[in-house]
Amino acid sequence: MILVKLGGRTLRNLRRIAEDLANHEFVLVHGGGDEVSEVSRKLGIEPRFVTSPSGVRSRYTDERELEVYVMVMSLINKRIVSELLSLGLNVLGISGVDGPTLMTHG
């Protein structure tokens, strides 16, 4: 099993990446922060970011932007699933808000 993390900007190359992965079992984790920021701005919500003392930049997500975040990430997930299905891959799209769908036992 291969775990693949794609940043939102990388999704522009989704078809090529999917073709490379087609013969493997994989879990795909995606981003999409740029799209979240774009939609937030269109809805009149200015994205906010904070920087930790060690220099790590993170999105500050209040309740309003969380709603936008969940909506946009869900749409991105559906686009990814649709694209992978069009390549004949057997895929399932899930979200962190769907509950504990993947769990490890240790």
pLDDT of residue 104 exceeding 80, the answer is no
- Residue 1: its pLDDT value, please? 86
pLDDT in tens, 5-24: 998 888 888 888 888 888 88
pLDDT in tens, 30-83: 999 999 999 999 999 999 999 999 999 999 999 999 999 999 999 999 999 998
Domain range annotation of the chain: 2-88
- Residue 33: its pLDDT value, please? 92
**Sequence-ordered list of residues with C-beta below 8 angstroms from that of 1, at least 6 positions apart, any chain:** 25, 26, 27
- Residue 102: its pLDDT value, please? 67
Higher pLDDT residue, 96 or 86? 86
Q: What is the reported pTM?
A: 0.83
- Residue 64: its pLDDT value, please? 93
- Residue 22: its pLDDT value, please? 83
Find how far residue 75's CA is from the centre of its chain.
9
Question: Which residues in 72-93 are b (16+ Cβ under 10 Å) and which e?
Answer: bbeebbeebbebbeeeeeeeeb
DSSP letter for 102, please: S
